Amino acid sequence: MSHHDGSSQEPAGLDGLPPLYSIAKGEVVSIQTYGAFVRLPGYRKEGLVHVSEMSASRVENASEIVDVGEHVWIKVIGREIQGEKVKLSFSMKAVNQGTGRDLDPNNVIADQDSRRRRQFRDQTSNRITLEAVLNTTCTKCGCKGHFTKDCFSAPGLQYTLLPEEDDEEPQHQQTSAATSQQESDRKKKKKVKENEEEEEEGEKRVGERQQQQQQRMQIQEEAPWQRRRGEKETQKTQIAQTPLRQ
């Protein structure tokens, strides 16, 4: 088994456990859907290889990768004390399963995975705590969302939690959407009105042109008659002006 800082003193509660980031070959003693438990030679404590640490590819079930009794190379990536229990975390993807060579000698991937697991646990813990607080009813004021020891209301005075900004945002978005829809409808109505006015103006111009054309045709039709009438009037005038012969 290879390990780092083998001469360093183990923290209290971690004595007799494989060193952190050490590499060893162990036997699969149990398989669950979420991972496989591996026992290392010389140690009684078993460690869990989570499905996320079995392969660089996604693994749905640990039985797809290993079988009970199979020997695999592992790297110790976590040792945690939880109450009176000690939890060991192993990784198979950090070790070449053929040669046992460390594929993450600087422990970069191991540290990233460790931070990700801690962050997930912290978020889960905070969410459960927040839900517990929100579902708590104060015996002093009768409102939900705080403990009695944290209540500062006067006797008989009740108060409620203010809505979060995220809760108000949908209403604001709905108002903005309604305003946008109204503006769009107003523009459509304005456009329709402009089109109607343009059509009326066009019809008016067509009517005027037709009227002018009819007037020109009427003038053309009356012109010969007016010429004949003028000729007759001229003849009458000439006859009237011609002296009668004695």
Mention every residue, 6+ apart, whose C-beta is less than 8 A from residue 241.
none
145: left (phi over 0), alpha (psi -120 to 50) or beta: left
Stated pTM of the model: 0.46
Query: How far is 69 from 9, CA to CA, in rounded Å?
Result: 33
The whole-number pLDDT of residue 26 equals: 96
Q: Looking at the DSSP assignment, which residues form a beta bridge with residue 35? A: 32, 50
**Is the separation of the CB atoms in 104 and 75 below 8 Å?**
yes
Mention every residue, 6+ apart, whose C-beta is less than 8 A from residue 38.
26, 27, 28, 29, 46, 47, 48, 49, 72, 74, 90
Query: How far is 74 from 54, CA to CA, in rounded Å?
Result: 9
Other CB atoms within 10 Å distance of the CB of residue 49? 27
Mean pLDDT for 33-57 is 93
Mention every residue, 6+ apart, whose C-beta is less than 8 A from residue 159.
141, 143, 153
Which tens digit of pLDDT belongs to each residue from 178-228? 777 788 788 878 877 888 888 888 788 877 888 887 777 777 666 666 666
The whole-number pLDDT of residue 38 equals: 97
